[in-house]
Amino acid sequence: MKKISWWYTEIGDAEKANVITAFDKKRFSMGEIVYELEQKIAKILNIPYVVLTNSGTSALTMALLAVDIKPGDEVIVPAMTWIATAQAAALLGAKVVLVDCLPDVPLINPKEVENKVTKSTKVIIPVHLNGRACNLEVLKSIAQDVNAYLIEDTCKAMFSKHNTKYLGTFGHMGCFSMGMISMLSVGYGGFVVTGDKKTYKKLCLIRDHGVVRQPEKYECLGFNFKISDILASIGLAQLDRLNNRIKHVHTIYNSYKKGLLSHKKIKILPVDVSSGAVPLYTEVYTEYREEIISFLKAHNVETSQFHLSLQQATYLENHGDYPNASNFANRCFIVPSGTSQPLSHIDFCIDLICQWNRRMENI
């Protein structure tokens, strides 16, 4: 059997047609198509303002610039997340304060946040990993108590809900990715959402070097965070198939959950789909991670390991241990997933893991 990639999303004829149309209309920079995608996303998320940018990392950086993060300000970040969450703050000179995650799911632990907030805390960034909602009610209360901003990292939770409301729309801003491992995949892309008009106007300035155009005026610190109409056209094509894409990742998650339920040596990390969470991919927790990964690899099945705990980034200032984040980092991996991953690949992967499990039971 040919190699099965751990992630697959289809960039097909509809996207190609949109790109050609954008090309024919000479839409090579940021313009009408970007604005159209912003408006459509805003309508879906029921949020007034959306600002497209060139990556999820840029979205996080723009959000922090919009609240005037300066050297010495503290930004609280979970130890279990992609490094970009912390790097956005570190690149602006902020002090990154790491917090451990919960023991049963890789989400920021509110009690640990409460223990680490100080008068210097400027921003708290909960990361809604794989569609799971952090405890937003408690985190929002903590942020308000210390006069800090709540900025949601929703890069891996696009179109997930919590109490009927979309993640990313609870805090002052929400940051999203449109990279390849996303519900909308344009190659590289992202966006910031906010309900605050003043913040929206500042984000638009930051995206374009902080410059007011015609007449030109240097208003604030910014950078070239713009995205082209060509890439936005890909997002528009995928937005037309949004419901099918969401349904497909739900089917994949449920297939793994059902197919591997009886195996005691492995556990599917829970995603509360009944509350509106969208499981972008499926994660496996096991004491036998390396053995299973090797077995799958021998059968041309690719997997992805969890991110390292951020304490491994020695250039970040951190104190103490983060046992829960380390536990997930050392024992979890992601099985073949994706908005277009063929279901036959999922069945094949489940069969292989069952084979491995039977071998272990006979040893």
Each residue's pLDDT tens digit, 237-261: 999 999 999 999 999 999 999 999 9
Q: Say which DSSP state 341 is in.
A: -
> Total domain count for the chain?
2
Regarding beta strands 282-286 and 332-335, do their DSSP bridges make them parallel or antiparallel, or are they unpaired?
antiparallel
The verdict on 66 and 188 lying in the same domain is: yes
Q: Would you state the pLDDT for residue 363?
A: 58
Tens digits of residue pLDDT in 307-331: 999 999 988 987 678 999 999 999 9
Q: d(Cα 129, Cα 162) in Å, to the nearest integer?
A: 13
Tell me how far CA of residue 263 lies from CA of 259, 268, 286, 297, in angstroms. 9, 10, 10, 20
The verdict on 156 and 221 lying in the same domain is: yes
**The last residue of a domain, from among 206, 239, 272:** 239
- What is 110-131 written as a DSSP string? HHHHHHH--TTEEEE--B-GGG
Q: Would you state the pLDDT for residue 1?
A: 65
Tens digits of residue pLDDT in 29-51: 889 999 999 999 999 999 999 99
**Residue 56: pLDDT band by 50, 70, 90 thresholds?**
very high
Q: Is 207 left (phi over 0), alpha (psi -120 to 50) or beta?
A: alpha
Any domain includes 265: yes
Tens digits of residue pLDDT in 126-177: 999 999 999 999 999 999 999 999 999 999 999 999 999 999 999 999 999 9
Domain hosting residue 281, numbered range? 242-362
CB atoms within 10 A of CB 174: 29
- Contact in structure between 120 and 72 (CB atoms under 8 Å): yes
The pair phi, psi for residue 4, each rounded to 5°, is -100, 115
Q: Would you state the pLDDT for residue 358?
A: 85
Q: Which residues pair with 7 in a beta bridge?
A: 337
Residue 219, both tokens: 């208003």
**The last residue of a domain, from among 187, 218, 239:** 239
Q: Would you state the pLDDT for residue 317?
A: 80
**Entry pTM:** 0.96
The verdict on 235 and 250 lying in the same domain is: no
Tens digits of residue pLDDT in 185-199: 999 999 999 999 999
The pair phi, psi for residue 140, each rounded to 5°, is -65, -40
